[in-house]
Amino acid sequence: MSEREQTVLLTGAAGLIGGALREALTDYRVRLFDRDLSSVEPAAHQEPFQADLGDFDAVREATRGCDHVIHLAAAPRVDEPWENLRVPNIDGVYHVFEAARLAGVRRVVFASTNHVTGMHDRHERWPLGPYTEVAPDSLYGASKAFGEALGRYYADEFGLSVICLRIGWVKTRRFPDDPNWRRMWLSFRDLRQLFRKSLAAHDIRFGIYYGVSANTPMRYDLDNARRELGYQPVDDSSEQV
């Protein structure tokens, strides 16, 4: 099956990362899923599907006929209270994986976060890699760890191919106030490459990969992302002036 014949469901399509991927996935048919698509003008190869992650029937309908799912949609703030996290980050993640299973989707690319191991970051227990013990720094980080665990279950139990990307800091401006940005930064160029490589990679049943640029200093182990996904980040936060 060629890329041009494949359909990707992109949840969170109206968000910051969703916008970057809308521009990058030009050789796929893309179904744009978000609860509010009023700010999005779909291109010719894109189909809008406005619905809420909490509605399983809607998620199942959106997933029908798709080859892949990129699951970005979530309550994104690290300080989100539990009542804001439960539906999008817990129930919604289950809805996406279960709908993908029922639809015969080949791969789900799940947008996880560096906050899954954020407590190690806080205490400077580096380097961090996919082998590092989970240590969330927030309820948000814990909700993403749940998504990774659920993905592992769907991979082992049902044979769904699942790639979890622990995404670093994707910023619209170059210099966040927090000095830690230099080790966590993920450029838009590297972001687009990482997700495209994740869709195209072969022979992966389940994997966890850090999504950061080739930063100096480097605090994350990208070896498995380079080896298994073919990810070759080209940007370095130390060169941003």
CATH number of the domain to which 42 belongs: 3.40.50.720
CA nearest neighbour of 211 among 238, 186, 182, 176: 186
Contact status, residue 22 vs residue 10, Cβ threshold 8 Å: yes
Q: Taking the complete model, does pTM exceed 0.85, yes or no? A: yes
Phi, psi of 123 (to 5 degrees): -100, 10
Question: How high is the pLDDT of residue 171?
Answer: 82
How far is Cα 74 from Cα 195, in angstroms, rounded to an integer? 17
Question: How high is the pLDDT of residue 4?
Answer: 46
Residues 6+ apart with CB under 8 A from 233: 187, 190, 193, 194, 212, 213, 214, 222
pLDDT single digits (tens) 188-230: 999 999 999 999 999 999 999 999 999 998 999 999 999 999 9
Q: Decide: helix, strand or coil at residue 92.
A: helix
Q: Decide: helix, strand or coil at residue 91.
A: helix
Helices (H), 110-222: 118-122, 139-158, 181-184, 188-200
* Residue 87 domain boundaries: 3-239
How far is Cα 171 from Cα 218, in angstroms, rounded to an integer? 18
Number of domains into which the chain is organized: 1
Question: How high is the pLDDT of residue 3?
Answer: 43
Question: How high is the pLDDT of residue 125?
Answer: 94
The active-site residue out of 28, 140, 154, 209 is 140
Q: Is 140 a catalytic residue?
A: yes
Weakly modelled stretches of the chain, pLDDT under 50: 1-4
